[in-house]
Amino acid sequence: MKYIWKIGYLQAILIVSCLLLGALLAYNGLVVYPSFQKMLTKNTEEQAERVANYLISDVLNTSAGLQVDAGADVKIRTALDHFRLWKLKIFLSSGRCIYSTEAADVGKMNHSPIFETALPDGELLSKVVKKNGKSSEGQTVPLDIVETYIPIFGQGNFLGAFEIYYDITERKDRQDLNLQNSILVSCGISLLFFCVLIFILARAGKSIIERNLAEQKLIDYQQQLVESEKMASLGGLVAGVAHEINTPVGAAVTVASSLDERTRHYQDLMLNDQIKRSDLKKYFETAKTSASVILTSLRQAADLIKSFKQVAIDQSCQETRMFNVRQCIEDVLLSLKPKFRQHDYQVEINCAQDLEIDSNPGAITQICTNLVMNSLSHGFAERDRGKIRLDVQVAGGQLQLHYADDGVGMAPEILKNIFEPFFTTKRGQGGSGLGMHIIYNLVCQSLGGTISCKSSPDQGAVFSINIPLS
Ligand SMILES: Nc1ncnc2c1ncn2[C@@H]1O[C@H](COP(=O)(O)OP(=O)(O)OP(=O)(O)O)[C@@H](O)[C@H]1O
Ligand SMILES: [Mg+2]
């Protein structure tokens, strides 16, 4: 049972089943039982009418008012036995009783208004009276009966009425027994169905909960795997940074220690008054070259640290706002204009002038800058001409950015590594190998999108970026 309560829709199935069972029982009690009773009344009413018709022609004289024939009593009592009647009375139209199988009733008045309204209109009136209940005349009835009034007409005039008391005790008992049995059987079947339902729901609930737990475990495990994967890649990144920074910093240290050694040497010469003008000249020369090498190396290191800082984008300070995408791309191209100047490089932008999105403009700027920079420094390296095409549109709730250049393209071994941090084919020539890694991080992590690249030698490079928009 506890498994069912833990799962919303199983709970709903159980509640709906309970309600249906309740409704079935209520239907039996409120609709089926009363309709059987109605049927019983209708049947007796019809029989009463038949009895009345028989008696009208056999025991009544309607030629001059309403009179009961002499010897009617025997015939009436025979009918009473034959039709299982408990009692029969005959009234005049005034309500006076002129005949009854119980002699004490004769001569009494029936003050019921039906003698003025319903009966003169030819209506039959029936009433079920339960054992020890009161008849319409206020008499206590010792049996279950149906009390029926049937009007008597003669030459179109309302002359009086029969009142026939039908003994339905036996029929009602039989009917009640049948109904009881059918209710018992339907309750039994319902109970059985209910037990089976609970059993099935409990089993289903248990297996759903077990499956959910297993799925959660799998998700946790995958998350752990992703985390450790992230840590490993961060470790790789740190090792890469250390390796990259080691070269310029190492060079600076070597030159600085050699400068230190030279400085001490010339200081000793000066303290012993042995220094010559040519020595001083040599020392200044060394100091100048060393300072320049140290400066260059440290600048290189500083640049690397700056790039590294960009890679570790702080997700929390990513600004999101509505901005015009085309304007953003045009700004990027404007900032890179000096690099286009000496060559015939063309850029075609296919993007609606008024395309506005709610996203991170800084990230889009950085992505476009790095893509264009790569086309210039790799795709169009040593080429005078080159064409870049940018198709941008919003479709299916995504910003679709299609970037293509017609540059030198990439061999498969380069293509498969381009998103790796520190992967570059321009090592020692200004390439750090972080540009594409930054793009990858921005698209996939900061913006939650996807990026893919297609390229082959001399066929240019194509980048497809999809960014979901909220
Ligand atoms: N449009 C392109 N055409 C040809 N080769 C490309 C293109 N874009 C990237 N590459 C290749 O992918 C490599 C990695 O690119 P990435 O931008 O990560 O590094 P980089 O440009 O070499 O250095 P950085 O961008 O950090 O200065 C490049 O060295 C280059 O070989
Ligand atoms: Mg680059």
Q: What is the pLDDT of residues 105-127, one digit of tens each?
A: 999 999 889 999 899 999 988 88
pLDDT at position 303: 75
**How far apart, in Å, are the Cα atoms of 300 and each of 235, 253, 291?**
22, 14, 14
Q: Indicate whether this model's pTM tops 0.75.
A: no
Residue whose CB lies within 8 A of the most ligand 1 atoms, among 237, 403, 424, for a mutation test: 424
Residue whose CB lies within 8 A of the most ligand 1 atoms, among 347, 370, 436, 437, for a mutation test: 436
Ligand lying nearest the CA atom of residue 381: 1
- Bridge partners (DSSP) listed for residue 90: 99, 162
Residue minimizing CA distance to atom 5 of ligand 1: 378
> Would you say residue 413 has pLDDT above 80?
yes
Ligand 1 site residues, Cβ closer than 6 angstroms: 370, 374-375, 377-379, 405, 407-408, 410, 414, 418, 423-426, 431-437, 461
Other beta carbons less than 10 A from residue 11's beta carbon: 14
> Would you say residue 377 has pLDDT above 80?
yes
Mean pLDDT in residue range 6-27:
82
CB 404 within 8 A of CB 459: no
Outline where DSSP puts E strands in 332-412.
Answer: 344-350, 356-359, 385-395, 398-405
User: How many whole angstroms from its chain centre is CA 133?
Assistant: 59
More confident residue, 274 or 176: 274
SS3 sequence of 121-133: HCCCEEEEECCCC
* Residue of 403, 389, 320 lying closest to 357 (CA atoms): 320
- For the chain, the first-to-last Cα distance in angstroms comes to 41
Which structure tokens are listed for 107? 């001569």
pLDDT at position 315: 36
What is the full DSSP assignment across 291-335? HHHHHHHHHHHHHHHHHHHHHS--GGG---EEEEHHHHHHHHHHH
* Residue of 403, 406, 421 lying closest to 367 (CA atoms): 403
CA of 451 to the centre of ligand 1 (A): 15
Degrees (nearest 5) of the Cα angle 466, 467, 470?
Answer: 145
What DSSP element (H or E) covers 101?
none
CB 79 within 8 A of CB 54: yes
pLDDT at position 415: 96
CA of 447 to the centre of ligand 2 (A): 20
> Would you say residue 405 has pLDDT above 60?
yes
CA atoms within 13 A on the CB side of 401: 26
Highest mean pLDDT among 27-41, 162-176, 456-470: 456-470
Q: What is the pLDDT of residues 319-375, one digit of tens each?
A: 788 999 999 898 888 778 777 877 889 999 999 999 999 998 888 988 998 999 999
Q: What is the pLDDT of residues 378-397, one digit of tens each?
A: 999 989 899 999 999 999 99
Residue 433 Ramachandran class (φ > 0 left, ψ -120 to 50 alpha, else beta): left
- When the pLDDT of each residue in the chain is averaged and rounded to a whole number, the result is 86
Per-residue confidence at 313, pLDDT binned at 50, 70, 90?
very low
Which structure tokens are listed for 73? 């009593």
> Would you say residue 167 has pLDDT above 80?
yes
Q: Where are the alpha helices (DSSP H) in 114-168?
A: none
Q: What is the pLDDT of residues 31-70, one digit of tens each?
A: 888 888 788 878 887 887 888 888 887 888 888 788 888 8
Distance (Å, whole) CA 380 – CA 33: 93
CA of 432 to the centre of ligand 1 (A): 9
223-227, 250-254, 307-311, 458-462: segment of lowest average pLDDT:
307-311
CA dihedral 174, 176, 182, 186 (to 10 degrees): -170
Q: What is the pLDDT of residues 187-243, one digit of tens each?
A: 888 888 888 888 888 888 888 889 999 999 988 877 776 566 556 556 655 666 677
3-class DSSP state of 217: helix
Ligand lying nearest the CA atom of residue 375: 1
CB 245 within 8 A of CB 301: yes
CA of 434 to the centre of ligand 1 (A): 8
3-class DSSP state of 187: helix
Strands 385-395 and 344-350: parallel
Residue minimizing CA distance to atom 28 of ligand 1: 424
More confident residue, 230 or 139: 139
> Would you say residue 84 has pLDDT above 90?
no
Helices 33-59 and 169-271 cross at an angle (nearest 10°) of 160
* Residue of 409, 408, 418, 416 lying closest to 456 (CA atoms): 409
CA of 395 to the centre of ligand 2 (A): 28
User: How many whole angstroms from its chain centre is CA 454?
Assistant: 38
